[in-house]
Amino acid sequence: MDKVYVSDIIEKPGGMKFSIRILLFVGLAMVFDGFDYMIVSFTMPQITEEMQLGFIATGSLASFSLLGMLIGGFLSGYLADRFGRKHVMNVSILIYSLLTVPIFFVHTYDAFAVCRILSGIGVGAVIPLSVTIVSEYAPTKHRGAFVTITKTFMMLGWVLAGLTAMYVVPNFGWRMCYLIGGFPFLYGILMHFIMPESVQWLLSKGRTGEALKIVNRINETLDSPKEGGYTADEIRIPEAEARGQLRQIVSKKYLKVTVGIWLVAFTTCALSYGLTNWMPTILLQSGYSVSASYGYTTLMNLLGCAGAIVAGVAADRLGRIRSAYVAFALAGLSVVFTAVFGFGGLMIVACTFMGFAINYAYMSPAPITIEAYPTEIRATGQACVTTVARIGGFITPMVIGGALASGSTFSTVLVVFLVPLCLAALFTKVLIKTETKGVAMEDLGTLPSGTFNGGNTSKEGEGL
């Protein structure tokens, strides 16, 4: 009897309907996640004025949540690979929503810091788990797009934060934004009932009966369902390595690609989070009104959504590696354009270009990171990448604040960001190399360096 992978069933005509359903469930959670993360950027000017903060302290307002995200992101992967993606993600939603509400009542810098760190634990946990579970239900030929669209939902949350702040802050004050941030608690409860566990994870843990129930739910959505459904004897399960999760990620087999992915994630996250967090404040200090500053930043985030979607489509069309090179080049052009022309009357054009390009660059490594490891360590691998990325995002807002406090202009800061973009391209070329376009989910993590497209042993970039 021929056995099939779960991904083979999803690839059948009609299987994508189930994948899209998972994407929408998880995507809405990411919208709320993005709102809770980004709302601080749109309330930084008011908090700075009320608490009389300097440049570095202002930059740290955004960094506090990233510190919590470091903790949550790291722990979530380990817990999800042991106890399942679904339950850890749902608990994380409840954590960040409940711990955002107390910020409505704080009046000191220290209290704000504690609340943002604690809520950041939940925010940081949701991101890698969302990408992991969507990738494990995504059809192989569209997996790159599914991964980046998942993160795009988070950017829609950034846009929602901007639109909310434009109305709420002038009319009700900045604190009300954090009270609104508690609403996702209700969705976290709903997710417990509507969201299935990852079938890939269930199979990797030997929970075949539970997995088969989900497999046959997928089968029912097919244009031509298999009569009688699937049995355990018909499902092919990849062999799992017995070593510990963290030990596998840094083992000889994965060490080179792990280091490469970590370095690329660090540099691209530093660029995206540093610029996005500071833009509203910089625009206000440059003489723009509150509505214009928030409007331009919201436009930047909206175009960032387009950049993220293009990153996924390009990864599926051009290949993961080549798409990343294109993204880094466009991001470099965008920061130079903004530095030279943005503050000379072309801010709308600059925000549009930079929002698209830097988020294309930020999202382009996403399919690579999710495809570097097999199921049994995928969530841990993704969480570790996210944790390292958040270190870059944590440091950069304060570094920018220090540079501005020392007398540097924001235009100068923008040009300096060319350095991490060049490094990201170098790390991709030297350390990652492996092309995973078109490889079945169950076969990921088994490719030797330099392979392309599911086993063709051509060099990176050839055959495209």
Separation of alpha carbons 62 and 39, rounded Å: 9
pLDDT on residue 190? 94
Q: State the first-to-last Cα distance of the chain, in angstroms, to the nearest integer.
A: 36
pLDDT on residue 195? 93
pLDDT on residue 462? 36
- 444 phi and psi, to 5 degrees? -70, 150
pLDDT on residue 327? 93
CB 344 within 8 A of CB 414: no
Separation of alpha carbons 214 and 228, rounded Å: 14
Integer CA distances (angstroms), 137 to 59, 189, 368, in order: 38, 22, 16
226's CB contacts (< 8 A; 6+ apart) are 219
406's CB contacts (< 8 A; 6+ apart) are none
- Is residue 171 classed exposed, middle or buried when 0-12, 13-18 and 19+ CB atoms within 10 A define those classes? exposed
Question: Sign of the CA dihedral 302, 308, 311, 312?
Answer: negative
* Tokens coding 387: 């944790």
101's CB contacts (< 8 A; 6+ apart) are 178, 179, 181, 182
Separation of alpha carbons 148 and 324, rounded Å: 13
pLDDT on residue 379? 80
pLDDT on residue 243? 52
- Whose CA is closest to 218, among 35, 360, 16, 409? 16
CB atoms within 10 A of CB 141: 11
CB 223 within 8 A of CB 158: no
Tell me: the pLDDT tens digits for 303-350? 888 898 899 889 888 888 899 999 999 999 998 898 888 776 787 888
Average model confidence (pLDDT) across the chain: 84
Which residues of the chain are under the pLDDT cut of 50? Answer: 447-464
Separation of alpha carbons 269 and 410, rounded Å: 18
- Whose CA is closest to 453, among 16, 325, 443? 443
Integer CA distances (angstroms), 374 to 135, 252, 369, 384, in order: 12, 15, 11, 14
Tell me: the pLDDT tens digits for 410-440? 788 888 888 888 888 888 888 886 777 777 7
3-class secondary-structure state, position 315: helix
* Tokens coding 277: 């967090």
3-class secondary-structure state, position 353: helix
0.85 exceeded by the pTM?
Answer: no
- Whose CA is closest to 98, among 178, 26, 154? 178
